[in-house]
Each structure stands twice: as structure tokens, then as C-alpha cells.
Amino acid sequence: MPHKSILSLIDSHCHLDFDVFDGDREQVLLEAFQKGVNHIVVPGVYEEQWAALELLVAKHSQLHGAVGLHPFFIKTHLNADTHSVAVTDIGNICERLHIMAKKDWVKAIGECGIDVVVAKSKNNLKLQQEIFEQHIVIANQVKKPLIIHHRKSHHLILQAFKRNNPLYGGVVHAFSGSTEDAQAYIQHGFKLGCGGTITYERAAKTRQTFTSVTMKNIVLETDSPDMPLSGYQGKRNEPSQVRLVAECLAKLKGIPLESVCVATSKNACQLFNI
């Protein structure tokens, strides 16, 4: 085994099961390990993916799975025109999600959430909200954290929390928002997912938020193969680059890289029961 970095890191959000990694997945994992990435959380995004994800996680002790219904794939989830979805359709798929969520290999419920950008109608947005709130109910029932996706929807997600309080916290994936938004999530027991966005100087608000938030409320992520870091635009993102996120966060906060690695790894281990 090649020499591994003495720094220990966790990528709390990486879609390593996507087919873009089919040709070199083992090499990507090895490179991540060499950079000190000891654990990687791989979220589920649609039902047809869950079985293959279970097999992948079983094959690699470095990987940990989650299951969810991503708002981007809402038509795939329900296999129907979103203008005429029956309540029973939502109930059926959420029941199957609940069954899968009970499995030991599932460390979290998600990726789930609300995405106003992809909602092309009020009906679509309403469906997203209904399905998201079912994720909260399921997470509470199986006593596991949530992995939450957001775009222009902090207010809607926080409204959902008032109707269904998430009891086991989770991660707000790829957090971008104000310090006020951050504190609202933290009060509900959530960590903030810190990824490649902070490597862009133009992301002043997000950089400032992560500078001000205490380390006990942050986990690192890449969202590989998406969300490339500054300087890597147009290239496939990989879990090994979570170290570059850690380096950037350490610089922004003016603390040693080791402190960032230790704190964020501890946070992720506690949250996901790793």
C-alpha cells in the first residue's frame, strides 16, 4: 500500500457511484486514500440507484451510503406527469424508502431537499415539499441524519422544519447562504457542508459565513464529480480534492490545516456513526 497522508479527512458528499467513475473508480479511491481521505459518504438520489449503491458500499470499507430522492429526479421517482400525481404514488415510494432506510449500511437519509430552480411549476414545488417532509419523518423514525439539498429554498426548508422537526440533525449540503441562515440550521442540529464554493473569491458571502461559523458545525465535501474547485473548472471533481477544500478553509479561518482535518472528521464520524 502506498504511503498514506498523516492527515485524516472525510468527504461527506461524493457521488462516486455515478457512471463517470466507472472507468477508474478504484484509482480514484486510491488517490483519495493517499491524500488522507479515509471515509467517503455516497448519497442516493433516486430509487433505481439504491441497490447498486448498496453493492458498492459493501465492496469498500472506505465508503458509506445514504438513500434519498433528490428533487432533480422527481419525475423519475414518481414515474408520472407531475401535474397528475396521486397521493398514493408518493406514499408508495416513500414506503420503499423507509424500508431501505432501516438497513445498516445506510448512514443517512438523502440526498433530499427542495430546489426552486428546477421547479417549473407550483405543482412541482409542492411535490418537492411533500416528498422532502416525508424524508424528515423517515429520518426521525429510523433515527438517522438527513443530507439536504437546497437552491433558493432555505426559507422553504426551514418552514418544513417547523411542521416536521428533524430530531437527528444532518448536513446542509453545499451550504451557501448568510450567517443568519447558517445559525438557523445549526439550531436544528445541522452541520454545514463546506465544499469547492469557498475556493472562489467571488463567493464572498459563503466564505464569510464559513469564516465566522465555529468548526464544530462544519463538515467537508466535494460533491464529486460536480462542483469543481477554482482552477479546475471543466474538469471532473474527485474526492481527493477535499484536501484542497480543507486547505482553503484553514487559510480563511487562520488556523492550522490539522485543526480543520481533526474537527471536520470528528463531526462527520459522530453525525454518520462512522
- 78 in Cβ contact with 85 (< 8 Å): yes
pLDDT at 74: 82
pLDDT at 245: 98
What's the pLDDT band for 91 if we cut at 50, 70, 90? confident
What's the pLDDT band for 1 if we cut at 50, 70, 90? very low
Q: All 3 cell numbers of residue 22?
A: 466507472
pLDDT in tens, 159-180: 999 999 999 999 999 999 899 9
pLDDT at 203: 96
The single-letter DSSP state of residue 5 is P
pLDDT at 85: 55
What's the pLDDT band for 149 if we cut at 50, 70, 90? very high
pLDDT of 61 > 60? The answer is yes
H-helix or E-strand spanning residue 190? strand 190-194
Residue type, 6: I
pLDDT of 86 > 80? The answer is no
